[in-house]
Each structure stands twice: as C-alpha cells, then as structure tokens.
C-alpha cells in the first residue's frame, strides 16, 4: 500500500511498500470483520483485531492456541480446517456457518506464507451472514400458490425427484453390538434435479453386515427410481449369497439389462463385526477410507473393477483390509471429494485429514455428542461441502467398538412405582445407544405392559416380590428384553373386553413375544416359581438426510415426560389435552381429570392424545369406561391422536375410534 501522494510514510522500512508498521496495525485493528493470524502447526494466535476480541469475548487472545479458544462454540471445527489449510497450502471458504442461536457466519481461511514461500500459518476472516440467511428463510416461508382448480399446486420436478429419492433411501440404520453405523446424505444444492447417490446398510445371516454406497449417472425421478431397483437387487443378492464376487456379478448383469443403470458406480464392504478383517469391492467408485483413533487415515486401494452394466463381464476380486477396534470405515460418494478448484487427488487428501481429525478428536463441538462414526460421517460433509459442492454428497461410516455396549439389568420391588422406574432405566439405556425415537417408544410400551402385568397379577396384595428387567442388543440387530418375576402366573381373561389387554398390546408392538416358566418341583402348583416374558424388537438409528444446517436435530421427547391432563376449553364442549405417559401409575389421575371435565358423563368430551408418549392398557381401560359412561348419557367421546403414533396404534388395536388432529 503506497503512501498518500506517492511518498513513503514516515517510519516505513526501506523497500517495504506496505506502509508503516503502526499504520498497518491500526488499520488491522479497525477492520469491521473479525480477523486472526494463526502461526505454526499449533495455530497460535499472534494477531487478533478488536472485532474478533469482541466476537470471541476474549480481551487478550494473543499467545493462545486457537483450538481451546474456539472450543465450546459451533466454530470449534475451524481449528481442524486450519489443519487442512496449513497442510495443503490451499484456501478454504465456508458460507452461512451456524455460530449460535439465529446467527450465521461466512469465513475464509488462507495460508500465510513467509518470505521464503514456506507456510508460516493461517489467516482467518469472519463475516456476519445472518441478515442474508434470514432474508432467504423469509422467501422460503412464502406460501406456494394454489392450483386454479383449488387443489394444491404440484411439486416442481426437482422437488418431486428429491422426495422420491429420499423416500427410497433408508432412514434407519442397523444397531449392532460391535459396530456403530452412521450415514449422511446431502442433496446437490444447485442441481435442477435430484442426483443418483444412494447408500444402504443391511444385516446379513450370521451376524455380518453389508455397507453400500453408489452413484448413478443423470438425475430426476428416473435416476431415483433406478437407484431403488439396484438397491433392491443388491439386498436380495447379499442376503442370499455369501460370495461378494458373485453378488457383484449378479448386479452387473442386472445393470446391463437396464439402460438407466448402465455406468452406475458402487462401493460395497461386508464386515463380520467380531473379525479383524473385512471384504470390499469398488466398481468405478472411490475406495473406502479407514480412520484410526490416533488421527491417521488412509484410502484403501481400489479393486480395479469398472462401473456396472458396461457390456463386459465383471469378474471382481474383492479386496481385504483390517478394521481394528476403534477404527472407522468410511464409504462415500465422489461428491465429497470433487469440489470447485480442487483436483480429485487434493480432495482425497483433504478428506483423509478431516476424517482423521474427526475420528481422533471427541472434543469437536459442532456435534454436542457422538461416536467416531457420527463425527466422521457428519463432519466430513459439514466441513468439506461448505467449501462448495456440485453433486450429491453421501457418507456411510462404521465404527468398530472396542467393547460391546453393557447389558441392562435392573431389579425392583413389583409395586406401581416399578413401571416408571424400569421404563426410565430402559429409556436411558436406549437413548445412550441413539435408538430412533419411534423404536424406543414401541419397546418401552411393550415393557410397560409386561411389567404392569407382573405388578398387578404376580403377587398377593400387599406382598410384592421382585420384578427384573434385562436388555441387550443381539448380533442380528434386535433388542432382546426379559421381564421376570417370582410369583404366580394367572391366565388372562379373554372375555373381558376392557381388561387383560397388557400382553396383547405388548405382542402387537414386539416382533416376537414368548412366555415361559422356570422348571418347578412336582409338589408345587404351576407358576409359583415365576414367569419370564422374553421379547424382541427391531432397532434402528436415524440417518441424517438434510442440507447443511449445523447440529442434527435433538431426539424426540423422552418417554418419561411428566404426565399432565389440562382442560383447554370449556365451550362449546370440554376439551382435555393429555401429555406424557398414561400407565398404571397415572391412569387414576387421567380418569379423575376426564370425569371432572365431562361432569361425570353429562357433557360430550374431546380428548387430545397427541402429546401422549406411552398409552398403556391401564389408560385404554379408562377410555373404555369413559366412553361407556358418556354413551349412557347420550353423549360422545372424541379421541384425537397423530396417525402413526404409538397412541394411535393402541387405540386402533383396542377398537376405540379416533380422529386426526
């Protein structure tokens, strides 16, 4: 920067046209954009302007390493991106990065070179993008005009294709005791139609699991439908054929006969969770990557096979590689490594750096919690795609756990409090495994019913014995629960329409239910030594199918939410909104509240069950009796619940009519 009038400023170093050091310092200090200069591989702060000090709430950041300075904020991954820029010597730009509640930033990291051309450090500049994001969000909230016929306008072709594609992608991932699987799918933001990226994770006979990521040429509904066909063929072949080479040969023959699938690329890995080695194959697709807990990461060699359906017989020879305890295996689409202004080799190198950091560093705060599989799957997308991406981006990661999750084993006295205690213990245990909320609800409802059965029927009044809950994840991905007591078995009364529903409800929401009794002495009456109810429920974790948006959404409300029955309106008829669990503990409170609201049956009543987390048979009994009491007075009971919810399913099972919300 030349001095005013072409003369060198006073105090400037001879031959240095940038200006006087004091002037440069003052100008840097006055910049409105928060700016940092980071030196060395440890990214020590050597300069920070006033805007950054205000932004970070750090009056004296100079001399501190950047990583702890940014820890605890959504900008924590910036330190890892600085690693990438420092190592690769290339700039990195991110747009609309979430940086707190309703605040977004653009930022740029550029390499800082010394006079000898060597990398000295990294320069960081932040720009507030909040207003731009808000304006875009306001535009998206504008209602879509109705069709002239009065029917809603159809989805644009791009949205229709994206909807078809996401509907065909698995939203649930298997839950296995020795593997934690995570996935992320990011649709191409600038594309006019949905692309052909897809992934799948499938449990196989013998406890094996297959991971697949593929890509189809073209886009739109046609490509999305073709992707669904190929995924179905591969599922069928992998389930029935243990030989991976034959599976791929079958997929190749199928693709050759389907014009929409010719040229499809594919990466498949088949793992035995208890084994150190696994098989994989790449058909024209980027090879998988293995990230170690110490931060090292490497791409495996490709197996040399071309895309599917190209007219030549595919004769793949699967590769083999090791996956040690603590390692993460990452399959991904080429959209993750082909980015603007970056070569493929540079993109692969960037991915290895980010994946290694994500696997090794549990302190990355962009995700408040998470296993190495979740960090690698999500952060590689969040960090790399923010620099710009043209195609769909897909990741599928599997972390080999150093040890399987602990079993749940809790025993309590079989009194009414046992229902909430054991359900709460199960909810904590399932939440720690990140089980999809719907699966948690169904499992907890079944356990609630069986525990309630033991509390009410196993022991004489006033003399409760023990009831015990055991739970574990089986090698096939099912939740295995056992509820046992030491009391007397009483056969359910099938003639009572409003009672004895507990085991029936549990059976409806379990994949399998079996009642058994321990061996007994010949001189003891049947059932005196106890009952065991064993159940199996299929478990899933949620995949992330979403645009760049910061942390994943929080899990659904816990099944232990407080019970409440609130009178919402009194005219033209009472309406009660019920929330939380309705079970043997809360059923009496529900009955009292509903009877009060309808004046003991003389007023019609609407009951909104949309916020109910557990509707046990004790609650169904209350609703049966209330419906009968209202009918005796010529009044009606209207039950409202969300379609597909556990409450709606229980009402349908019990034959109680319901209305949508």
Instruction: Give every CB contact of residue 95 below 8 A, 6+ residues apart in sequence.
Output: 106, 129, 386
Cα 469 to Cα 409: distance, rounded to the nearest angstrom: 6
DSSP letters spanning 594-648: HHHHTGGGTS-EEEEEEEEEEE-HHHHHHHHHHHHHHHHTT--EEEE--TTSHHH
pLDDT at 473: 95
Q: Is 313 helix (H, G, I), strand (E, B) or coil?
A: coil
Q: Are 134 and 109 in contact (CB under 8 A)?
A: no
Residue 391 has pLDDT above 60, yes or no: yes
pLDDT band at 89 (very low <50, low <70, confident <90, very high): confident
Digit-coded pLDDT (tens) for 402-420:
999 999 999 999 999 999 9
Cα 59 to Cα 55: distance, rounded to the nearest angstrom: 10
Considering only 184-193, 200-209, 330-339, which range has the smallest mean pLDDT? 184-193
pLDDT at 488: 80
Digit-coded pLDDT (tens) for 322-344:
999 999 999 999 888 887 667 78
pLDDT band at 443 (very low <50, low <70, confident <90, very high): very high
Query: Right CATH number for 158-400 from 3.40.50.720, 1.10.420.10, 3.60.40.10, 3.40.190.170?
Result: 3.60.40.10
Q: What is the mean pLDDT of residues 628-644?
A: 88
pLDDT band at 257 (very low <50, low <70, confident <90, very high): confident
What is the separation of C-alpha 179 from the centre of its chain, rounded to a whole number of angstroms? 15
Cα 18 to Cα 115: distance, rounded to the nearest angstrom: 14
Cα 470 to Cα 408: distance, rounded to the nearest angstrom: 5
Query: Most confidently modeled of 116-125, 197-206, 418-427, 609-618?
Result: 418-427
Q: Are 81 and 107 in contact (CB under 8 A)?
A: no
Nearest to 181 by CA among 546, 556, 541: 541
Cα–Cα separations (whole angstroms), residue 63 to 53, 68, 75, 461 = 13, 12, 19, 71
The vertex-633 CA angle with 629 and 638, nearest 5°, equals: 65
Q: Is 571 helix (H, G, I), strand (E, B) or coil?
A: coil
Domain 408-545 in CATH 3.40.80.10? The answer is: no
* Residue 261: DSSP 8-state: G
More confident residue, 224 or 48: 48
Strands annotated E in 216-262: none
Digit-coded pLDDT (tens) for 552-576:
444 445 445 677 878 765 567 888 9
**Cα four-point dihedral sign 520, 522, 527, 529:** negative
Give me the residue spans of the domains in the chain.
31-133, 158-400, 408-545, 564-654
Q: How many other β-carbons are positioned within 10 Å of the β-carbon of residue 560? A: 16
Cα 334 to Cα 340: distance, rounded to the nearest angstrom: 13
Cα 661 to Cα 651: distance, rounded to the nearest angstrom: 14
Nearest to 301 by CA among 288, 311, 312: 288
Q: Examine residue 327 and say whether the peptide bond preceding it is cis (omega within 30 degrees of 0).
A: no
Please return the burial class of 257, using the count of CB atoms within 10 Å of its CB with bins 0-12, 13-18 and 19+. Answer: exposed
Q: How many other β-carbons are positioned within 10 Å of the β-carbon of residue 322? A: 10
The neighbouring-strand residues paired with 173 are 541
Q: Is 473 helix (H, G, I), strand (E, B) or coil?
A: strand
Fold designation for 564-654: Transcription Regulator spoIIAA (3.30.750)
Q: Are 396 and 332 in contact (CB under 8 A)?
A: yes
Nearest to 112 by CA among 126, 98, 124: 124
Residue 430 has pLDDT above 60, yes or no: yes
pLDDT at 154: 43
Q: Which residues of 100-136 are buried (b: 16+ CB within 10 A; e: fewer)?
A: eeeebbbbbbebbeeeeeebbbbbbbbebbeeebeee
Digit-coded pLDDT (tens) for 118-151:
889 999 998 888 887 777 656 544 443 443 333 3
Cα 181 to Cα 290: distance, rounded to the nearest angstrom: 14
408-413/466-473 β-pairing: antiparallel
The neighbouring-strand residues paired with 45 are 38
Nearest to 195 by CA among 455, 483, 444, 394: 394
Token pair 């009994």 in the structure block, residue:
621
Fold designation for 31-133: Beta-Lactamase (3.30.450)
466-473/328-332 β-pairing: unpaired
pLDDT at 3: 34
Cα 316 to Cα 400: distance, rounded to the nearest angstrom: 26
Cα 102 to Cα 80: distance, rounded to the nearest angstrom: 24
pLDDT at 146: 40
Instruction: Give every CB contact of residue 424 below 8 A, 6+ residues apart in sequence.
Output: 560
pLDDT band at 103 (very low <50, low <70, confident <90, very high): confident
List the structure tokens of 61: 């950041």
The vertex-299 CA angle with 295 and 301, nearest 5°, equals: 150
Residue 156 has pLDDT above 50, yes or no: no
pLDDT at 367: 46
Q: Are 269 and 329 in contact (CB under 8 A)?
A: yes
Q: Does the global pTM surpass 0.75?
A: no
pLDDT at 38: 92
Instruction: Give every CB contact of residue 443 below 8 A, 6+ residues apart in sequence.
Output: 426, 430, 435, 479, 481, 509, 537, 539
């Amino acid at each position: 920067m030349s001095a005013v009038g072409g003369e060198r400023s006073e105090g400037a170093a001879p031959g240095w046209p940038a200006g006087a050091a004091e002037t440069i310092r003052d100008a840097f200090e006055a910049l409105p954009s928060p700016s940092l200069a980071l030196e060395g591989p440890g990214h020590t702060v050597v300069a920070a302007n006033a805007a950054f000090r205000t932004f970070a709430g750090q009056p004296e950041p100079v001399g501190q390493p950047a990583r702890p300075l940014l820890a605890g904020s959504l900008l924590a991954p910036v330190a890892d991106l600085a690693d990438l820029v420092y190592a690769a010597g290339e700039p990195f730009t991110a747009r609309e990065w979430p940086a707190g509640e309703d605040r977004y930033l653009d930022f740029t990291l550029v390499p800082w070179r010394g006079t000898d051309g060597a990398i000295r450090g990294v320069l960081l500049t932040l720009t507030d993008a909040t207003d731009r994001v808000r304006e875009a969000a306001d535009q998206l909230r504008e209602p879509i005009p109705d069709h002239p016929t009065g029917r809603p306008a159809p989805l644009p072709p791009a949205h229709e294709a994206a909807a078809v594609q996401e509907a065909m992608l698995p939203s649930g991932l298997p839950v296995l005791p020795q593997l934690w699987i995570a996935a992320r799918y990011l649709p191409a933001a600038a594309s006019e139609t949905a692309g052909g990226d897809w992934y799948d994770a499938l449990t196989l006979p013998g406890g094996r699991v297959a991971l697949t990521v593929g890509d189809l040429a073209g886009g739109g509904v046609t490509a999305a439908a073709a992707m669904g066909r190929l995924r179905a063929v591969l599922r069928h072949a992998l389930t029935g054929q243990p030989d991976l080479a034959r599976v791929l040969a079958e997929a190749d023959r199928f693709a050759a006969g389907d014009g929409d699938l010719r040229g499809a690329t594919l990466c498949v890995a088949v793992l035995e969770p208890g084994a150190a080695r696994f098989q994989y194959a790449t058909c024209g697709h980027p090879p998988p990557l293995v990230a170690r807990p110490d931060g090292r990461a490497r791409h495996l060699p490709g197996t040399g096979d071309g895309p599917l359906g190209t007219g030549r017989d595919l004769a793949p020879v699967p590769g083999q590689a090791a996956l040690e305890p603590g390692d993460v295996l990452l399959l991904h689409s080429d959209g993750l490594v082909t980015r603007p202004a970056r070569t493929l080799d540079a993109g692969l190198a960037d991915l290895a750096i980010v994946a290694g950091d994500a696997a090794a560093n549990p302190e990355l705060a962009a995700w408040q919690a998470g296993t190495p599989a979740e960090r690698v799957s999500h952060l590689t997308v969040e960090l790399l795609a923010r620099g710009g991406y043209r195609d769909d981006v897909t990741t599928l990661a599997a972390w080999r756990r150093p040890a399987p999750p602990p079993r749940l084993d809790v025993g309590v006295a079989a009194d009414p409090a046992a229902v909430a205690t054991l359900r709460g213990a199960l909810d904590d245990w399932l939440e720690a495994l990140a089980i999809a909320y719907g699966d948690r609800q169904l499992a907890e409802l079944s356990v609630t019913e069986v525990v309630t059965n033991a509390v009410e029927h196993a022991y004489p009044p006033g003399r409760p014995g023990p009831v015990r809950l055991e739970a574990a994840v089986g090698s096939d991905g099912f939740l295995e629960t056992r509820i046992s007591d030491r009391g007397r078995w009483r056969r359910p009364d099938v003639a009572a329409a409003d009672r004895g529903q507990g085991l029936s409800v549990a059976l409806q929401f379990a994949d399998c239910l079996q009642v058994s009794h321990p061996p007994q002495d010949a001189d003891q009456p049947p059932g005196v030594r106890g009952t065991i109810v064993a159940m199996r429920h299929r478990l899933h974790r949620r995949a992330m199918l979403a645009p760049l948006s910061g942390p994943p959404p929080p899990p659904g409300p816990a099944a232990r939410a407080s019970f409440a029955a609130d009178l919402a309106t009194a005219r033209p008829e009472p309406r009660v909104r019920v929330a939380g669990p309705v079970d043997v503990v809360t059923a009496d409170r529900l009955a009292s509240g509903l009877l009060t609201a309808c004046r003991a049956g003389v007023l019609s009543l609407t009951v909104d069950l949309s916020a109910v987390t557990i509707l046990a048979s004790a609650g169904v009994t209350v609703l049966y009796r209330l419906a009968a009491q209202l009918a005796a007075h010529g009044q009606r009971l209207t039950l409202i619940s969300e379609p597909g919810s556990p409450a709606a399913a229980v009402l349908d099972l019990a034959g109680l009519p319901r209305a949508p919300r």
